[in-house]
Amino acid sequence: MQPTPLHLTVKEYVTPEKFDFWKEYGESIGFRYVASGPLVRSSYRAGELFVQTLVKSKNRSYL
């Protein structure tokens, strides 16, 4: 598993706090759900997580 010339070099290490920051920022500008983490890609379970978030928010509004 040694890097080869085909691998990109690491530009920076992103800390868990930075992922938390981007999650909070996304939610603060209106996103209903933000998946932010080192192994998350843009389409990562997007539909499933969005629907779960909608259901949770509707359940809270009925309480």
What confidence tier does 62 reach under pLDDT thresholds 50, 70, 90? Answer: low
Residue 30, sorted as left (phi over 0), alpha (psi -120 to 50) or beta, turns out to be left
pTM above 0.85, yes or no: no
Instruction: Give residue for tokens 């992922």.
Output: 19
pLDDT at 27: 93
What confidence tier does 15 reach under pLDDT thresholds 50, 70, 90? Answer: very high
pLDDT at 31: 87
pLDDT at 22: 95
Q: Dihedral of CA 30/33/39/43: which sign?
A: negative
